[in-house]
Amino acid sequence: MKPVQKISLKEYNTFNIDVNALYSFFCKSEKDLFEILKSDFVREKKIIILGGGSNLLFTGDVEDVLILMRNKGIEIVEKDKETVFVKASAGEIWDEFVDWCVNNSYGGIENLSLIPGTVGASPVQNIGAYGVEVKDVIEELEAVNIKTGEKKVFKNIECNFAYRNSIFKNELKGKVIITHVWFELLRKPKFVLDYGNLANEVEKYGEVNLSNIRKAIIDIRSSKLPDPNEMGNAGSFFKNPVINKDKYERLAKEYSDIKGFKLTDDEYKVPAGWLIEKAGWKGART
């Protein structure tokens, strides 16, 4: 399999930066991936894996080998009265996968609507929004070792998931490529609406169901973030600070409108957006 030479990456990154990739591979299957990794040409160069392009800011032409994961497929592996196990390929667009789940009445990731990127990138960052993280629904995933070509299945616990973090951002960064992810979803959804004003926004649509939760979250996110097709951006990339109970209670005494989310008996998550607003930087541009 030969690389595509000198292509513009403008349509492959959400900042719409018009730079060139000198050597690119469009990986549409496991067979493609194995052929790419076996190539002597690839073995001699550094590899960059590109999903939706929302976590990369290109500052110049890319001389490293670029592998664009474009393998597709969504498969129901197993289901019973309460749960369904779904296998999704890494190249699936994340929000399209969320839409598929909602349309099939499979609950668990509706709160993660409109997050940019691909299915394969979702575990790396442990994407999350509105009280839900993808680690809550990942059963396991499959990844390929870049050096050896060996496939390995990682159970949820082996992924070392943490707040916007995983083993794939640390020990295994640049060492493996995620090819498939298995999700455990609910056929009788348990709605998570206790984050911010989400419950009030959902009520505007009437009945509380997966579809209306997705609509409400899309509306909220669209009102806060510009469309990357109109203004290049990386979406919401702030990490909400996690503080201890004592610090949270001291802040609450000074700011009665503080918006916090209790994580444990001694940990609270405070929205970065609220902190930015209180600091007088809401809407600031450089």
pLDDT band at 283 (very low <50, low <70, confident <90, very high): confident
Residue 284 has pLDDT above 90, yes or no: no
Among 74, 182, 96, 175, which residue's Cα sits nearest to residue 137? 182
Structural domains present in the chain: 4-69 (3.30.43.10), 72-237 (3.30.465.10), 242-278 (no CATH)
Name the percent of the chain lying above pLDDT 90. Answer: 77
Q: Above pLDDT 70, what percent of the chain?
A: 100
Q: What is the pLDDT of residues 38-97, one digit of tens each?
A: 998 898 889 999 999 988 899 999 999 999 999 999 999 999 999 999 999 999 999 999
Mean of the per-residue pLDDT values of the chain: 93
CA distance 170 to 160: 10
Judge whether residue 124 has pLDDT over 80: yes
* CA gap 219, 209 in Å, rounded: 16
Residues 97/202, Cβ–Cβ less than 8 Å: no
pLDDT digits (tens, 9 = 90+) for 229-276: 788 887 777 788 999 999 999 999 999 998 788 888 999 989 888 898
Q: CB-based contacts of 227: which residues, under 8 Å, 6+ apart?
A: none
- Model-level pTM? 0.90
Instruction: Output the pLDDT for position 226.
Output: 81
Rounded to whole angstroms, the Cα distance separating 266 from 152 reads: 36
pLDDT value at position 231? Answer: 84
Q: Taking Cα atoms as reference points, which of 147, 146, 108 lies closest to residue 129? A: 108
Average pLDDT over residues 155-165: 96
pLDDT in tens, 3-30: 899 999 999 999 999 999 999 999 999 9
